[in-house]
Amino acid sequence: MPFWCVESTVGDPFGSSVMDKITSLEACDILCDAKSKGLIDFTSTHDDDIVTWDPANPMDDQDPSSECYKTIRALKEKMDKVGLKMKMVTCSLHGNTVFRNGGLTNPDPDIRVLAAQKVMRTLRIGNFFGAEYFTYWVARDGYECQFAVPWDRAYKYLEAGLNLATRYIKENKLSIKYCTIEPKPNEPRGEMFLATTGHALGLISRLEDPSMWGVNPELLQHEGMTNLSATNAAGMAIHAGKMPFLHVGNQKAGQFDNDSPILTGMDGLKEMISVLWILEKLDWKGHIEFDNHVLRTDAAPGSANSIQVRKDFIKFNVESYRMAEKKAEDLAANKDLNTLRAAMLDKSSPMLKALESYDLKALQEAKIDYKKVNEAPVSNANIDYAFNKALLGM
């Protein structure tokens, strides 16, 4: 459960914050409480969630007299006490107004320098906490007006920004072992340079060290925003060996970024549980991070609510997730379902070897009984029905 989810005051473009603001130390207490209760194992943070960036002092994290220096130590002390790990850090290039026209891809070189300084500071802070991952989410690297984009340089800027992060990590031997891209199709910008899990995978192959980079899809939200499929995102990223973790929440397809708590909302039960079932079937070893906030309707102002609503929110998310995970495990372990799948998916054939070994000659000469295979019905729907029944516990 990341700091930003707990700190969110759930304002939206049509109404102000509902919740009172809390400090990062208060947020940390809430997270440590959740750790103590066995609800969570680790957390994540943007730099600004815990120590606000001061562009005049980009190295404040190294200065013992600074607020930043003291705060990160106070936070770490709290976290160490309960064994709460900082798993991932990410640099906010969206909150500060200076990045309103882009962070890593801002056309103004001076702003790209500010972005670079902010990324380096974030990496150092991550290192201080012993974070394993650094995440670049696309933030404001995009556009609304295609004629105002430097098409000959935009992706170069993006690649340079990401290469800079890995160079800095390596040169300084930081704790971060792996970096991820979190793609998103739109919002806050009209179009993002890296819209989907596919786009992230495509870009990674062009970076200096692709082995340092993977993708953390935000499911169901970011793929669902343009009616793409969360199952596909997870399936392709895992197949590529490039999904160390994922972000979870719920989304009504084709809308603004809902960031609703997992399973909460109009639909998404089947899709979310099927994603978790894929993780089970593929024996995935990554980790799950929440990335959502309390429904704005369910937040409440006032100091009495300020801590309690946030604690309830964590508990609610964890319980919802565990319900989904339990169902996914049950589906994955269900022998009848696995048998049904095997009957359709594990069909044997003397040609299997030729297919796997690219035996072009054998493939070319094979005699397949076209009429037989063409008239043999398959039933995807029967498999789906059996899973529906199990999903509904009927």
Q: What residues numbered 40-69 form the site for its own copies, per CB under 8 A?
A: 55-56, 58-59
Q: Choose between 79 and 120: whose C-beta lies nearer to its own copies.
A: 120
**Residue 240 makes contact with its own copies by CB under 8 A:** yes
What letter does residue 177 receive in the DSSP assignment? -
Q: Is 32 in the site for its own copies (CB under 8 A)?
A: no
Closest distance between its own copies and the C-beta of residue 302, in Å?
A: 4
User: Distance between CA atoms of 276 and 284, rounded to whole angstroms?
Assistant: 10
- The 3-state DSSP class for residue 214 equals strand
Looking at beta carbons only, is 83 or 150 nearer to its own copies? Answer: 150
β pairing state of 85-90 and 178-182: unpaired
Site for its own copies in 291-320 (CB under 8 A): 294-302, 304-305, 309, 316, 319-320
Q: Does 267 bind its own copies (CB under 8 A)?
A: yes
- Judged by CB under 8 A, the residue of 24, 128, 231, 276 near its own copies is 231
Total count of residues recorded for the chain: 394
Q: Does position 335 bind its own copies by CB under 8 A?
A: no
Whether 31 contacts 43, CB under 8 Å: yes
Number of residues engaging its own copies in binding (CB under 8 A): 170
For the record, the structure tokens of 211 come out as 């082995």
Q: How far apart are CA 333 and CA 283, in angstroms?
A: 12
Choices 32-40, 63-71, 80-88, 94-102 (CB under 8 A): range interacting with its own copies:
94-102
Task: Answer yes or no: are the C-beta atoms of 306 and 18 closer than 8 Å.
Answer: no
Q: Which is nearer to its own copies, 79 or 119 (CB)?
A: 119
CA 222 – CA 201 distance, rounded (Å): 15
In sequence order, what DSSP letters do the residues of 116-171 get, joined into one string?
HHHHHHHHHHHHHHT-SEEEEE-TT-EES-GGGS-TTTHHHHHHHHHHHHHHHHHH
Nearer to its own copies among residue 32 and residue 182 (C-beta): 182
151 makes contact with its own copies (CB under 8 A): yes
Per CB under 8 A, 243 contacts its own copies: no
Site string for its own copies, 110-149 (x = CB under 8 A): xxxxx-xx--x------------------xx--xxxxxxx
E strands within 303-376? Answer: none
Question: Does residue 36 interact with its own copies by CB under 8 A?
Answer: no
Closer by beta carbon to its own copies, 236 or else 288: 236
- Is 333 near its own copies (CB under 8 A)? no
179 phi, psi to nearest 5 deg: -120, 155
